[in-house]
Each structure stands twice: as C-alpha cells, then as structure tokens.
Amino acid sequence: MRDRNLADLPEGAESPLNAAVTSRDTSTVQMATEAVKHKQCKLAFQPVMQAHPPLGVAFYEGFIRVLDETGRVIPAREFMPQLENTPIGRELDCVALEMGLRTLSRNPEIRLSINMSARSIGYARWSRVLDRFLIKDASVGERLILEISESSAMTVPELVVDFMDRLQPRGIAFALDDFGASNFSFRHFREFLFDAAKIDGQFVRGVAENPDNQALVRALVAVAREFEILVTAELVETKADAEFLVANGVDCLQGYLFGAPTVSAPWRDEKLRKTAG
C-alpha cells in the first residue's frame, strides 16, 4: 500500500519522521545527562602535526566522549548537535575543560586544545574550574588552547571578545573552529584576535582533487595570514591532500593520516617509540 502523504495527517498530529527525531534527541539528552551524573566521560586525544620541520606534534586536541549504559564510547558528533545550547551541553563543556586541565597538569610536556561553546563563557561553574587549575599552576594556561566554532562565536560576539581579552594575558590561546563554514567577516577577525584558525574539514577532505576547494583553501589561508593567525587543516586523510595543504601555507595538519582520536594517551606511545629508537 502507498505510504500516506504527510499532508494527509490529521491536524495537530506528529509525523512518524518527526516523532522518530524527537525520540532520538530525547534519548541522546538522557544518555548524556546520565553520563555526566555518573562521571562516565572520557577525553579522546588526536595529534595535530606541524606541517613544516621539525614535523613533530604541535599539540593534541581533546574530544569529549560519553559512555552509554553498556560502557560503549560515544563520539561527540552523536550527541553535541542536540546538546550544545542546553544546560547539559554546558555541563559537558565543564567536564571536558576539567579533564583537559587535569591532563595538562599531569603532562607538562604537552599542549592541548579543548572545544567549548560560547554559551559556556558566562557559566559560573566553567569559570570556577578554569580558575582553580590556573591558581594551582599558571603554566597550564600557557599550554591550553580553547576552540570556539564560527557559528558559536557569532551567537554572542561581544561576550566572546571580552572573554578573550581577559584570558589571553593568562597565556591561553584561542582557535576559531570550522573556519570558512559560515559568514565570518574581516571585521570580526579584527575584533576577535584569534591566535589560530582551523579550516573546516568539508573543504579539506579530497582537496588535492577538487579545484573549487583548492581555491577556497588558498583564500582562507590568505585571510588568516593578513591577521597573523596560525592555520590548521582538519580531516587530512591522504598524503596528496597533505602535500597540497603544506605547499599552500597551512601550518598544522590534523586527521586520520596522522592518527585517529584515542582515549589512551598518545604522547606516551610517542615516548616509547623514541625510547625504542
């Protein structure tokens, strides 16, 4: 029998598709809420490589993960889109920050970037977590990079500018995530003074074979250079893509070509390799 057209539904009735989406989102929020409540969260670390000599690890990015009721690790892409602008999303920002700062405290040889939503800036608990660690060890701030997406920064631009002005003197660096994915103008670059920008992966994956994305990457690098901003490319998966990016001025490379995110500490494996060598 032919599927019913959505227009045939009784007035006020919810379509099966909308019901499924609502159910999924509710389940996702509940799962994340339980994970935060029971401290069932982890950070997964991915290396960000220098594009030029000495070609080592520039820093690591820490991605928040939650564990479901079976202990399975759930990546952020499965829950953050539904949670970013909710109270539990801000709680996850706090968890990610605390775990990241603890990692930096225990490993003084590394730098680490942590994602955050601009909506967490005015969240008192988030600020208390940051202050607690900086008071114990100011060097932690000098090795911390906070990543804020273009779309998030533009929701409360004045708040983000003030936040950066207050924290950059404490050594904290700021990176613009998803660079190129939204309407982020030159005026905003002057106001925000980001230290780094990460080219959105949709323009990086397969760039060696895509003339349109090649032109866009060159333009984004040129914009960043005008403001003396370090440029990272994410989702680098092939040697050909990496070679194009390096040849066109990208400073750092991140992606599966260099390693997938892992909940084990990759810098320990790096130490073992150097020792063995």
Return d(Cα 47, Cα 250) in angstroms, integer: 16
Q: How far apart are CA 48 and CA 51, in angstroms?
A: 9
The model carries a pTM of 0.86
- All residues at 6 or more sequence positions from 58 whose CB lies less than 8 Å from its CB, including other chains: 48, 49, 50, 111, 251, 252
Q: Measured between alpha carbons, how far is 112 from 110 in angstroms, rounded to an integer?
A: 7
Res 81: pLDDT: 76
Residue 123 phi/psi, 5-degree rounding, is: -85, 115
**What's the confidence (pLDDT) of residue 78?**
80
Q: For residue 85, how many other CB atoms are within 10 A of its CB?
A: 12
| Token pair in block for residue 216 | 């866009």
pLDDT at residue 85 in the model: 72
Instruction: Give the DSSP H/E element, type plus range, for residue 113.
Output: strand 112-115
CA-based nearest residue to 95, from 35, 13, 156: 35
Give residue 271's pLDDT: 59
Helix (H) and strand (E) counts for the chain? 11, 9
Q: Output the pLDDT for position 218.
A: 97
Backbone phi and psi for residue 21, each to the nearest 5 degrees, phi listed first: -65, -45
Q: What is the pLDDT along the chain (277 residues), one digit of tens a residue?
A: 444 444 454 555 455 445 444 444 567 778 888 888 888 999 999 999 999 999 999 999 999 998 888 888 888 778 777 777 778 888 999 999 999 999 999 999 999 999 999 989 989 999 999 999 999 999 999 999 999 998 888 888 899 999 999 999 999 999 999 999 887 666 777 788 899 999 999 999 999 999 999 999 999 999 999 999 999 999 999 999 999 999 999 999 999 999 999 999 999 876 555 555 5
The reported pLDDT for the residue numbered 26 is: 61
Give the C-alpha separation, 277 to 273, whole Å: 6
Distance separating alpha carbons of residues 202 and 237, to the nearest angstrom: 12
> 254 to each of 60, 136, 138, 160, 259, how far by Cα in Å?
9, 31, 27, 25, 8
Q: What phi, psi does 135 have (nearest 5°)?
A: -65, -40
| 129 phi-psi bin (left φ>0, alpha ψ -120 to 50, beta other) | alpha
